[in-house]
Structure 1
Amino acid sequence: MAVPATASVRDANGYRPPAVTGLVDLLDAQVRERPYARALVVTGERVQLSYRGLSALADGVAARLGGTGLSRGDAIGLVSANTAEFVVALLGAARAGLVVAPLDPSLPTTQLSARVRALGARAVLLGRVPAGAPSPTSDGSTLPVPVWPLRVDVSRAGAAALTFAPGAGAAPRDGGAASELSTRDALVLFTAGTSERAKMVPLTHANVAASVQSLCATYELGPRDATVAVMPFFHGHGLFAALLASLAGGGCVLVPERGRFAAGSFWDDMRAVGATWFTAAPAIHEILLDRSEREYPAAQVPPLRFVRSGSAPLNPATQRALERTLGVPLLSAYGMTESSHQAASEPLPGRGKLKHGSVGRPTGVEVRVVGRGGGACPPGVEGELWVRGPTVARGYLGDRELTAHTFVDGWLRTGDLGALDEDGYLSLTGRINNLINRGGEKISPEHVEDVLAGCPGVSEAAVFALPDAVYGQRVGAAVVVREGESVGADEILRYCRDRLAAFEVPDRLDMVGSLPYTAKGALDRKAVQARFAAGS
C-alpha cells in the first residue's frame, strides 16, 4: 500500500518523523496540536513566541505580499540576522508561494546586488541585520530591486505585532536564473564563494521535507527538545538543522539577542531555554572548549542529550575533550548545500556505534565512494564521495556546464574525498581541489591539519600550498596556540615528524594569532592562501 506524501511512518527505533511536505506546512501539526507551545525565544529579554503566534505572523506576511504584483514561483531575497524577522519572513514568503533566497547580511551591498541580479529576485525582504553590517535601504538606492523592511515586536506577555507594508511595485521579471524556478521550489541557497562565482542551488519543498525528516529521525527531535541558534540561517547548517528541523519536530529555538553566536552569553542562553542539544561548526566548538574552564556552568548545566558538529571536519581530540567536559556525545555530521545539508551523521547512543574520526553513516541518502576509473571503491579505499537521494538538488541555476559535471544520473559528485568502512561508516580525507602536489606526492591539507591540531597546545591549524621551483608545491602551515600555552614551532614539527610521512611535514610553519573562517564556520582556504602563502 502506498504511503501518502504527507504521512510518516515509525522507523526501526519507534520514532515517527514529522509529516511535512515543505516550508508551507512546516508548522501546521504543531499549530493544531500544541498551539500555545513555545516555538521561538527572542530578544534580550528572552520572550517566548508560540507556534500559534508564529503562524499568525507568517500568515500576515503572506497576505501583504499578495498585493505586491509577485506571482507564485517568483524569487525573493531575504536579508536578516538570526532573528524572529528571518523566521517570519521565510515562512510567510513560502506561504505566499514565493521562492526564498536567504542572503548573508554581512556582505557588502555590491555583492548583495550581484547575487540579486544573478538570481533575478523581484524584491528583497529586510529584517534586522547585525550591528555594523551594511544595510540595504528601503528606497532601493543600494539594491537593484525594491527593499521591504519587516519588523516583529514581541511583548513580555508573548503578544506579537508585525510591521510590514511592502505596497505594490515588485521589480519586473528581467532575466536572471529565476526563470528556471517553479512553484515546486522553496529555496535558493548560495554556496560559499565570491558574489560573481557563488553557485545558486535550488531546493524544492520535497527536498526540504526530506531533509527535515531525516534530521529529526537521526536525532529523534521532538517537543521536549530546545536549542540555541548558533549557526547563521542563511546557510544550510543553521537553516535546516537548528531552525527547520526543530520547528517541524515541535521543539523550541532561542535566537540570540544580537542575531548571532556570542560566546559570552551562550551558556546563559542555553540555560534560559533548557537546551537539550546544539549544533555548531568546529571553530565554535574550539571556542567553547577554550573558554570552558572559566565559563562552562557545570553546576547549572542544561539538560543536554547530545551535541552536533558540522560544516567542516572536527578534530577527534577536540571531540573527546568536549565530550568529557559536557558529559554527552558530540556527533559529527557531513553534508553540503547541494544535499539540503546533512548526508551522514554519527548515530545517537543506542542507534549504532560511535566511531570518532568518522562522520557516521548515511542518513536518508545513498553514499558511494568512486575511484578514478568510475567504479565503486571497496571498503577502506579512498575515492570521491557521490550522494543520491531525495534531499539532493537537481543542479545549479544558470550553469548548465557545472550542473552536467556535478550531477550525474541522479548522483551528486561532492568533490570530497573519503572512504567507507565495513560497517558503512564514512571517513573524510579531504577535498579534491585542495590537494597539494609536492613533486607528484598528493597531500591532503585536511589530514595534516588534523595531526597539527592534535599536538598538545595547538588550538587551530591551516595548511596551504607554497609555490616551489623544484617540487611545484611545498607544504605550508599556520597554527594558533591555545591561550596560556607556550608550545613552539620546533616542538610542533617534531610532533608532526612522528605522525606524518616525510613529504607531508610542513616545510614552513607560522605561528599566528587567528585564522580566517567563512560565515558558516569553515576554514576560508582562499583567505588562508592569500594571507599566509604570499611572499613565499
Structure 2
Amino acid sequence: MAVPAAASVRDANRYRPPRVTGLADLLDRQVRERPYARALVVTGERVRLSYRALASLADEVAARLGAAGLGRGAAVGLICANTAEFVVALLGAARAGLVAAPLDPALPESQLSARLVALGARAVLLDASASGRGVMLPVPAWSLRVDVSEAGTAAVALEPGVCDAGNARGAAGELSERDALVLFTAGTTDRAKMVPLTHANVAASLHAICATYELGPDDATVAVMPFFHGHGLFAALLSSLASGGCVLLPERGRFSAGTFWDDMRAVDATWFTAVPAIHEILLDRSEREYPGAQAPPLKFVRSCSAPLNTATQRALERTFGAPLLSAYGMTESSHQATSEPLPQRGALRQGSVGRPTGVAVRVVDRGGRSCPAGVEGEVWVQGPTVARGYLADGDESARTFVDGWLRTGDLGALDEDGYLSLTGRIKNLINRGGEKISPEHVEDILAGCPGVAEAAVFAVPDAVYGQRVGAAVVVREPDGVGSEEILRYCRDHLAAFEVPDRLELVTGLPYTAKGGLDRKAVQARYAP
C-alpha cells in the first residue's frame, strides 16, 4: 500500500539506537541531553511530565525503598493501572536495585496473594485504584501517589514501613540484582508461571523494538495495552522512554475507545500498538469517531499478542492511512521476537508476523530437526531476550528451555526470506478422527466472511471422531448474515473436515486481561 507523505520515515542517519543497559539507566541519556522534553502526558488534564521530573521522582522512590531495608535483588510487587504511579514505582525499584513484579490489579485478592507469596515479594506498591479496593495482602502494602501540577511540577507521596531483613522466601531466593522484572504468564490460575527477566534481557528487547520501528524523540504514542503484560510494558512504555519519545497515559490508567482519538491528537501520536480485539473495536467505531484529516499522521500501526486476520488488517490500513505491522512475541522472550519491517525496510506480507528482531528463529519437527522453508513445525527462539527459565519450576523449565532455545508451543513456518507465518498453538489443535485442525486458521476464514465481526473455534467432544469443530460467531448486525450463509462460506474456503459441525451466533466473546481470546472460557461456555 502507498504510505502518505506525512508518514514517510525519517532519514536512516537520524535514527540513534538507545544506549541503555536495563531499567536502572533507562532515562539517563534523555535527562542529560533533553531534560525538559516530555516523557509522559498524564491525568485527565493531559499534563506533561518531563524526563528530568520523572527521573527525580524515581530517584526519590528509590531512596525511600532503600531506607526501608530492601536489599538489592529483593522482589517487590506493583499493583497499578497504567498510571504515573506505575512508571515511577517501576523505575524507582530498578534504581534501588530491586526486582519489580507487576500484577494485574483486576485479579481477585486470593490470586494476588498467591502470586506474591509464590514470588516471595518483600512488599507491594499500590496506586490509588488498587489501594482503594481495600484488599488484604500477605506482605507490607505501601500506597504511592504522584501529584503533577498543570505546570508540570511533580511530587511523590510514599511512606514505606520497615521490611523484615530475613532470608528471602518463595522464588525470590533465585533472584539477584542482575534481574529487573518478574512477569507472570497470562492465565487465570494461582499457578501462573513466573518469568525472571534480567536487565540485559530488557536492554536487548528495547534495542530490537526501537530499531525495528526506528523510534526516536519525534515519536509519541498512547498507552493502550496494560503495563503488567509484556506488550504494553515493552512495546509501548519502555521502548518509548528508551528512545526519548512520549507516552500518553489515559485518564484513570485504562484504554477508552471513546477518548482514544482525542488522546492521540493531544499527544501528536505517530504510532500505537494493540491486540486485534482493540483494533476491531476502533475499526467498528471509526465511521463515527475516527477524525479523518484531523487525525495525527501515523508512521505505522502495530498488532501483537494474538492473530490478526487479513480482512481486518486491510480495513485498518485503508481507514487509518498507515501500514499495519504484525509482530510476534511472548513473555519468555521479553516480548517481541519477530515483526514486519517498516515498508521502506522490507516487504509487508499478508499473513506473516515478519522477520526475527534481535533473535534467531527456527521451525522444527517433532524430532527437533529444522523444517525446510514452507513446512510447518514448532517455533523455537534463541537470543539475548530469552529468559533463563521459570522461577520455582524446574520441570517446566526443562521442557520449555532446551539447549538455549525457547520452545514456544506455537506452530508456524518460515519462508525462504525468513518471514514467519503462524498457524496455531500445539495445545489448541482439534483432533477430528486423526485430522489435526488449527482453530486459529478456521477463525481467520470465519472472520473473512462478510458480516462476521469475530469468531472463536473450539473442540466439541464426540464419541465417534474424538472431537468435532465448534464455532461461536459474532455478527456485525443482528439481522445480518445467518448461520447457513456462514457455513456456506466455510464450505467454499475450508477443507470438509475443517467446516464447523456446530455453529452458534453469540453477542460477544470472552477475552483475557491481556486482550487475547480466552480459550478456556470459550471451551467452558460453548463446548458442553
With the shorter chain as reference, the TM-score category is over 0.9
Amino acid at match of 1:263: A
**What does residue 108 of structure 2 align with?**
108
Structure 1 window deviating more from structure 2 (477-486 vs 278-287): it is 477-486
How far did residue 68 of structure 1 move?
1.1
Please give the secondary structure, in 1, of the residue aligned with 2:252: coil
Alignment of 1:36-435 (within 5 A): 36-129=36-129, 135-137=133-135, 142-170=136-164, 172-173=166-167, 175-435=169-429
2:465 is aligned, of 468, 471, 485, to 471
> What is the CA–CA distance in structure 2 between the aligned matches of 1:484 and 1:473, rounded to whole Å?
30
Shift in Å, 1:349: 1.2
- Residue 74 of structure 1 deviates from its aligned partner by 0.5
1:59-78 residue CA offsets vs partner (Å, 9 max, x unmatched): 01001111111100000000
Kept in 1: contact 2:374–2:413 (CA 8 A): yes
Query: The residue matched to 1:233 in structure 2 has which SS?
Result: coil
- d(CA) in 1 for partners of 2:469, 2:415: 29
Distance 1:12 1:372, change over 3 A: farther
Deviation at 1:420, TM superposition (A): 0.3
Distance 1:455 1:478, change over 3 A: same
SS of the residue corresponding to residue 234 of structure 2 reads helix
TM-score (norm 1): 0.95
Match of residue 432 from structure 2: 438
Alignment of 1:451-462 (within 5 A): 451-462=445-456
Q: Check conservation: 1:105, 1:135, Cα contact below 8 A.
A: no
What's the offset of the Cα at 1:197?
A: 2.1
Secondary structure of 1:367's aligned partner: strand
1:102 is paired with a residue whose SS is strand
Aligned partners of 2:221 and 2:236 also within 8 Å: yes
| Change in CA separation of 1:27 and 1:404 when aligned onto 2, cut-off 3 Å | same
**What displacement does 1:129 show?**
2.5
Q: Note if contact 1:451-1:496 (Cα within 8 Å) is conserved in structure 2.
A: yes
Question: CA distance change for structure 1 residues 485 and 369 in 2, over 3 Å: closer, same or farther?
Answer: farther
Question: What CA deviation, in whole Å up to 9, does each residue of 1:198-257 have, x standing for no partner?
Answer: 000000000000000100000000000000000000000000000000000000000000
Provide the C-alpha distance between the structure 1 equivalents of 2:511 and 2:188, rounded to a whole number of angstroms: 14
Equivalent position amino acid for 1:388 in 2? Q
8 Å CA contact retained: 2:74, 2:168: no
Q: 1:349 to 1:13 in 2, by over 3 A?
A: farther
Percent of paired sites with the same residue: 80
For the Cα contact (< 8 Å) 1:109–1:134, is it kept in 2?
Answer: no
Partner of 1:8: none
Counterpart secondary structure, 1:258: helix
Does the CA contact (< 8 Å) of 1:281 and 1:310 recur in 2? yes
In structure 2, what is the Cα distance between the partners aligned to 1:424 and 1:136? 51
Q: Once superposed, what is the RMSD of the aligned Cα atoms?
A: 1.4
Distance 1:107 1:171, change over 3 A: farther
Report if aligned partners of 1:365, 1:387 keep a CA contact under 8 Å in 2: yes
Q: Does 1:17 align with 2:11?
A: no
Could you tell me how far apart the structure 1 residues matched to 2:165 and 2:293 are? Answer: 55
Correspondence 1:483-498 to 2 at 5 A: 483=477, 486-498=480-492
Give, in angstroms, the shift of residue 136 of structure 1.
4.8
Cα deviation 1:32-81 (Å, max 9, x = unaligned): 00000000000000000000000000001001111111100000000000
Change (3 A) 1:250 1:490: same
Paired with 1:391 and 1:15, the residues of 2 have a C-alpha distance of: 22
Give me the whole-angstrom Cα distance separating, in 2, the residues matched to 1:129 and 1:352.
43
Q: 1-side partners of 2:139 and 2:444: how far apart?
A: 45
Tell me if the contact between 2:42 and 2:84 (Cα under 8 Å) persists in the aligned partners: yes
Unmatched 5+ residue regions in structure 1?
Answer: 1-10
Does structure 2 retain, via aligned residues, the 8 Å contact 1:191–1:337? yes
Partner of 1:3: none
**Amino acid across the alignment from 2:133:** S
Q: Which runs of 5+ in 2 are unaligned?
A: 1-10
Contact kept, 8 Å, 1:106 with 1:134, in 2: the verdict is: no
Residues 383 and 419 of structure 1 are in contact (CA less than 8 Å); yes or no, is this contact kept in structure 2? yes
Q: How many residues align?
A: 518
Deviation at 1:14, TM superposition (A): 6.8
CA deviation after TM superposition for structure 1 residue 171, in Å: 7.7
- The answer to whether the 8 Å contact 1:464/1:476 transfers is yes
Task: Measure, in 2, the Cα distance between the counterparts of 1:67 and 1:182.
Answer: 19
Cα displacement (A) at 1:483? 4.0
CA contact (8 A) 1:122 1:172 kept: no
Show CA shifts across 1:359-406 (max 9, x none): 010000000000112110000000000000000000000000000110
Q: Aligned equivalents of 1:134 and 1:96: distance in 2? A: 26
Three-state SS of the structure 2 residue aligned to 1:69 is coil
Residues 112 and 195 of structure 1 are in contact (CA less than 8 Å); yes or no, is this contact kept in structure 2?
no
Contact 2:31 2:55 (8 Å CA) reproduced: yes
Q: Which amino acid aligns with 2:162?
A: A
Once the two structures are superposed, residues 455-477 of structure 1 have per-residue CA deviations (whole angstroms, 9 ceiling, x without a partner) of: 01111100001000000100000
CA distance in structure 1 between the partners assigned to 2:163 and 2:438 by the alignment: 51
C-alpha displacement of 1:299:
2.5
The answer to whether the Cα contact below 8 Å between 2:61 and 2:92 also exists between their aligned partners in 1 is yes
Residue 521 of structure 1 deviates from its aligned partner by 0.8
The answer on whether the counterparts of 1:331 and 1:345 sit within 8 Å (CA) in structure 2 is yes
- The aligned residue for residue 7 of structure 1 is none
For 1:517 and 1:194, how far apart are their aligned partners in 2? Answer: 11
Query: What amino acid sits opposite 1:219 in the alignment?
Result: Y
Q: C-alpha offsets along residues 409-466 of structure 1, whole Å, 9 cap, x if unaligned?
A: 1100000000001111100000000000001110000000000011011111000010
Mapped contact 2:15–2:216 kept (Cα < 8 A): no
Aligned to 1:5: none
**1:305, 1:382 → 2: CA distance?**
33
Residue type matched to 1:456 in 2?
A: P
CA shift digits 1:281-313 (9 cap, x unpaired): 000000000000110000211121100000101
